[in-house]
Amino acid sequence: MRAWHSLPRSAKVKVIGYAISTLSVVLLAIVSWRSASQDLVLAVCLLAGAIASIVGMMMRMYSYEVQKEEEAG
């Protein structure tokens, strides 16, 4: 991944957006944990959902790098 200062403005906006979305997922999981921790299935679903969401955002962010490499040849 390129250094922050070398990223175009649009990429910086995307990275910041994904960071905010990741923070949102973590905060919502923290708030929901009290209820979910009472039931193993709910706890597993909450953790799996939070992890899947964060991994999905990371993959989308990585896809921009892959796209740039493909376009560069």
As averages over each run of 10 residues, the pLDDT of the chain (73 residues) reads: 81 90 96 95 96 94 87 86
Q: Is 4 part of a structural domain of the chain?
A: no
* Structure confidence at residue 20 (pLDDT): 95
* Structure confidence at residue 36 (pLDDT): 95
The amino acid at residue 34 is R
Task: For residue 53, give every residue at least 6 positions away whose Cβ sits within 8 Å of its Cβ, in sequence order, or none.
Answer: 21, 25
Q: Is 36 part of a structural domain of the chain?
A: yes
Q: Is 39 part of a structural domain of the chain?
A: yes
Q: Is 27 part of a structural domain of the chain?
A: yes
* Structure confidence at residue 1 (pLDDT): 57
* Structure confidence at residue 4 (pLDDT): 83
Task: For residue 29, give every residue at least 6 positions away whose Cβ sits within 8 Å of its Cβ, in sequence order, or none.
Answer: 46, 47, 50
- What pTM did the predictor assign? 0.78
Specify the number of domains making up the chain.
1
Q: Is 21 part of a structural domain of the chain?
A: yes
| Segments forming the whole domain that contains residue 62 | 10-72
Q: Is 16 part of a structural domain of the chain?
A: yes
Q: Is 1 part of a structural domain of the chain?
A: no
